[in-house]
Amino acid sequence: VGEVRVAMTADRAEKPQRRLIAVGSGKGGVGKSTLSANLAVALARLGKKVGLVDADIYGPSQPRLLATEGQKPTARDKKLVPVQSPWGVPVLSMGHIIEPGQAIAWRGPMAGNALSQLVDADWGDAEVLLLDLPPGTGDVQLTMLQRFKPAGAVIVSTPQDLALMDATRAIQLFEQSEVPVIGMVENMAGYACPHCGEISDPFGQGGAEAAARSMGHAFLGRVPLDLEIRKASDAGEPPAAGEGPQAEAFASIARQVAT
Residues of this chain that bind ligand ADP (CB under 6 A) = 25, 28-34, 61, 135, 187-188, 223, 225-226, 229-230, 233
Closest CA to 24 of 150, 117, 207, 213: 150
72 annotated binding-site participant: no
Judged by DSSP in three states, 93 sits in: strand
29 annotated binding-site participant: yes
Shortest reach from residue 221's CB to ligand ADP, in Å: 12
Closest CA to 175 of 132, 120, 212: 212
Shortest reach from residue 9's CB to ligand ADP, in Å: 41
Q: Using the minimum distance from each CB to ligand ADP, give the nearer residue, 119 or 225.
A: 225
124 annotated binding-site participant: no
List all residues 6 or more positions away from 219 whose beta carbon is below 8 Å from its beta carbon: 183, 184, 186, 208, 209, 212, 213
28 annotated binding-site participant: yes
Q: Using the minimum distance from each CB to ligand ADP, give the nearer residue, 41 or 229.
A: 229
Q: Using the minimum distance from each CB to ligand ADP, give the nearer residue, 49 or 182.
A: 182
Q: Got the DSSP string for 112-135?
A: HHHHHHHHTS--TT-SEEEEEPPS
Q: Using the minimum distance from each CB to ligand ADP, give the nearer residue, 32 or 48.
A: 32
User: What is the end-to-end Cα distance of the chain in Å, rounded?
Assistant: 39
- List residues forming the annotated binding site for ATP: 26-33
- List residues forming the annotated binding site: 26-33
